[in-house]
């Protein structure tokens, strides 16, 4: 108690697009009495029995919800079993001093004496530390819900490690398999080579260490090998840590377009090791900054002005929340493609020699210009300094028309009404879209 569950819980539920349920509130509703009155009139044992019944019922309900458990709920073996079976249990971190300061004058039955409160905190701590994950704020809770944690790239447990060959050499990764660096890894030939070389059974796990191309390829192989095995994403680039390795979209490219073959296969964990960014060349850092800027425009916050560690955390939490709300890309997840319709067309037309970040920077220019946001387009120009790329205009236009968001032959673009407010539009005339694409080509 006093950790901030009743404050953070509804906010987390909103971010994840789920209902919020308070077990204390359920007990009060079902018994017709406040928790404090139940303690006073019927004793703690009666309250705990009612709490247990309410918690187990809440954890069995569908659709899934964010469930706030009272501070002593984990004392019930039956509740712990229901959590283990049905839920990811998140420990909201606090200190006994912070918690006592919040509840000292609350009148709660178990918060009337500081020494007794601290003793209770110490008694319950082992139960809390057995939680699946911990967090201290809203972004941290979202990251935990998505299975994203910050730690060493070596912290993947028993797994068949597939690494970008350059990353494996640079960071001494103990890889069991290596793949080429960059977009060339996302091919049917590379997928087939992995399928044929793997020896894991269905209980095995693959770990992908590398940039977004590596995590896309390995995630796709994991989704299809033996009809699906677990995998862990360990992104080594800024693009991967803020965007590409998050959300469960995996796939490979075809000559006709990017990511045309793929699946939704959420990793069991995403391990973000920001020390891997220390060896990034400036061009790769700038590639990642394009995705940071995109996220900042969607959020309406100048994330590109923040330090790298904060950029990674905020961007990862933002994308994770969107993808948890729309895991199969049927709604608001489309907004994450701001600028990407143009970017993917340029990449495909170049034979995937144009870096993804450079293509995204150019795509953002086109999307913002079509949105009528010239000030924001100038920010992209000033921060990312994109220059037109030498590709075949007809090939780029053909690839753009095959974009995954197209419906019934209509091109659909993600546009911004203003920073923080996006929409999908099919109302831009093809001639204007082609002209905007042409402005990106040398």
Note the pLDDT tens digit of each residue in 209-237: 999 999 999 999 999 999 999 999 999 99
pLDDT score at 356: 93
Count of CA atoms in the C-beta half-sphere (13 A) of 421:
4
H/E run at residue 167 = helix 165-170
CATH class of 150-280: alpha beta
**Among 392, 323, 397, which Cα is nearest to 351's?**
392
Name the pLDDT band for 22 (thresholds 50, 70, 90): very high
pLDDT score at 107: 81
Domain boundaries in the chain?
5-142, 150-280, 282-442
Between β-strands 421-425 and 413-418, what pairing exists: parallel, antiparallel or unpaired? antiparallel
Residue 36 has pLDDT above 90, yes or no: no
Cα 246 from Cα 253, distance rounded (Å): 18
Q: How many other C-beta atoms can be found within 10 angstroms of the C-beta atom of residue 311? A: 24
Mean pLDDT of 432-440: 98
DSSP 70: P
- The predicted-structure confidence for 363-410, as pLDDT tens digits, reads as follows 999 999 999 999 999 999 999 999 999 999 999 999 999 887 777 779
Reduced to 3 DSSP states, what percent helix, strand and coil does the chain have, rounded to the nearest 5? 55, 15, 30
Q: How many other C-beta atoms can be found within 10 angstroms of the C-beta atom of residue 4? A: 18
Same fold, 150-280 and 282-442: no
Q: Is 45 exposed, middle or buried (0-12, 13-18, 19+ CB in 10 A)?
A: exposed
pLDDT score at 21: 96
Cα 168 from Cα 398, distance rounded (Å): 36
List phi, psi (to 5°) of 272. Answer: -105, 115
pLDDT score at 10: 97
pLDDT score at 5: 94
List phi, psi (to 5°) of 352. Answer: 65, 35
* Mean pLDDT taken over the chain: 95
pLDDT score at 71: 86
Contacts of 72 (CB under 8 A, 6+ apart): 48, 51, 110, 124
Query: 164 near 211, Cβ under 8 Å?
Result: yes
- Percent of the chain having pLDDT more than 70? 100
Between β-strands 205-210 and 177-179, what pairing exists: parallel, antiparallel or unpaired? unpaired
- How large is the angle between the packed helices 138-145 and 5-16, nearest 10 degrees? 50
- The structure's pTM equals 0.93
**Among 406, 402, 395, which Cα is nearest to 428's?**
406
pLDDT score at 233: 98
Query: 359 near 244, Cβ under 8 Å?
Result: no
pLDDT score at 106: 83
pLDDT score at 353: 94
Mean pLDDT of 274-300: 96
Cα 245 from Cα 353, distance rounded (Å): 20
- The predicted-structure confidence for 56-84, as pLDDT tens digits, reads as follows 999 998 888 999 998 899 999 999 999 99
CATH class of 282-442: mainly alpha
Q: Which conformational region is residue 80 in: left (phi greater than 0), alpha (psi within -120 to 50 degrees), or beta?
A: alpha
CATH class of 5-142: alpha beta
Cα 279 from Cα 394, distance rounded (Å): 37
Mean pLDDT of 324-344: 94
Q: Which two tokens stand for residue 297?
A: 């425009």
Residue 430 has pLDDT above 90, yes or no: yes
DSSP 118: H
């Amino acid at each position: 108690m006093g950790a901030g569950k009743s404050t953070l819980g509804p906010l987390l539920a909103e971010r994840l697009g789920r209902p919020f349920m308070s077990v204390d509130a359920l007990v009060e509703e079902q018994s017709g009495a406040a928790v404090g009155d139940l303690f006073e009139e019927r004793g703690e044992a009666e309250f705990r029995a009612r709490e247990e019944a309410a918690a187990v019922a809440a954890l069995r309900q569908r659709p899934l919800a964010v469930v706030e458990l009272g501070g002593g709920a984990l004392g019930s073996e039956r509740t712990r079993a229901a959590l283990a079976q049905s839920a990811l249990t998140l420990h909201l971190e606090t200190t006994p001093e912070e918690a006592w300061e919040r509840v000292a004058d609350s009148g709660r039955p178990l918060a009337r004496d500081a020494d007794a409160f601290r003793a209770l905190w110490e008694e319950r701590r082992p139960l809390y530390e057995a939680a699946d994950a911990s967090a201290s704020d809203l972004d941290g809770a979202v990251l935990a819900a998505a299975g994203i944690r910050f730690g060493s790239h070596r912290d993947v447990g028993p797994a068949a490690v597939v690494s970008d060959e350059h990353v494996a050499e640079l960071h001494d990764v103990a890889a069991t398999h290596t793949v080429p660096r960059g977009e060339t890894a996302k091919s049917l030939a590379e997928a087939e080579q992995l399928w044929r070389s793997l020896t894991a059974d269905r209980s095995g796990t693959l770990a992908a260490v590398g940039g977004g191309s590596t995590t896309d390829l390995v995630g796709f192989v994991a989704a299809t090998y033996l009809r699906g095995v677990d995998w862990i994403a360990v992104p080594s680039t800024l693009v991967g840590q803020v965007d590409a390795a998050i959300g469960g979209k995996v796939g490979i490219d075809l000559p006709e377009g990017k990511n045309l073959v793929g699946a939704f296969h959420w990793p069991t964990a995403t391990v973000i090791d920001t020390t891997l960014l220390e060896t990034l060349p400036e061009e790769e850092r700038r590639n990642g900054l394009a995705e940071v800027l995109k996220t900042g425009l969607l959020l309406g916050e100048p994330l590109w002005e923040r330090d790298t560690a904060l950029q990674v955390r905020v961007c990862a939490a933002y994308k994770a929340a969107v993808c948890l709300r729309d895991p199969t890309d049927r709604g608001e997840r489309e907004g994450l493609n701001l600028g990407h319709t143009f970017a993917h067309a340029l990449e495909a037309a170049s034979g995937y020699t144009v870096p993804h970040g450079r293509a995204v920077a150019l795509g953002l220019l086109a999307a913002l210009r079509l949105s009528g946001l010239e000030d924001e387009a100038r920010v992209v120009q000033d921060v990312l300094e994109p220059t037109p790329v030498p590709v075949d205009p007809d090939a780029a236009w053909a690839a753009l028309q095959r974009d995954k968001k197209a419906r019934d032959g209509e091109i659909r673009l993600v546009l911004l009404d203003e920073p923080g407010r996006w929409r999908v539009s099919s109302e831009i005339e093809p001639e204007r879209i082609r002209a905007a694409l042409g402005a990106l080509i040398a």
